């Protein structure tokens, strides 16, 4: 007799839970938003200088992760 009450549900690893489209898209969205804020903020020229790289990274990441399985 099996001790597992519901053996049909397979345990999913941390990678399986994190490497899904939803969370990755959320991370990419946050990076894009951060890049846009950095571009238009009036406080630091250094942040402004890094804004394009940040937005570009977020956009490329979003394009890639939108192809990842749900």
Partner 1 sequence: MRSGLPFETTGICRIVDDPGARSVDAMNELSASSRITYRAVMVRPGVARRIRGLSDRTLAWLFITPTIVLLLAINIFPLLWTIYLSFTNYRANRANVPTIWLGADWYQSILTDPDIWAAMQVTAHFVIWTVVIETVIGFGLAFLIDKKFRGHGMWTTIILLPMMLSPAVVGNFWTFLYQPQIGLFNYVVAFFTGRDASSFQMLGDVRLSPWAIVIVDAWMWTPYVMLICLAGLRSIPDYIYEAAEVDRASKWRQFWSITLPMALPFIMLAVLFRGIENFKMFDMVNLLTGGGPGSTTEVASITLKRAAFESWRTGYSSAFAIILFVTVFGLANIYVKALNKVKSR
Nearby residues of 63 by Cβ (< 8 Å), 6 or more positions away:
none
Q: Where along the sequence are the contacts to partner 1 (CB under 8 A)? A: 25, 28-29, 32-33, 35-36, 39-42, 45, 48-49, 51-52, 55-56, 58-59, 62-63, 66
Return the number of the residue (52 or 68) whose C-beta is nearest partner 1: 52
Return the number of the residue (20 or 48) whose C-beta is nearest partner 1: 48
Return the number of the residue (7 or 42) whose C-beta is nearest partner 1: 42
């Amino acid at each position: 007799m099996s001790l597992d009450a519901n053996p049909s549900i397979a345990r999913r690893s941390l990678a399986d839970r994190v490497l899904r489209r939803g969370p990755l898209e959320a991370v990419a969205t946050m990076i894009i938003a951060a890049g846009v804020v950095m571009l238009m903020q009036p406080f630091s020229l250094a942040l402004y200088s890094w804004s394009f790289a940040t937005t570009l990274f977020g956009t490329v990441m979003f394009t890639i992760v939108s192809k990842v399985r749900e």
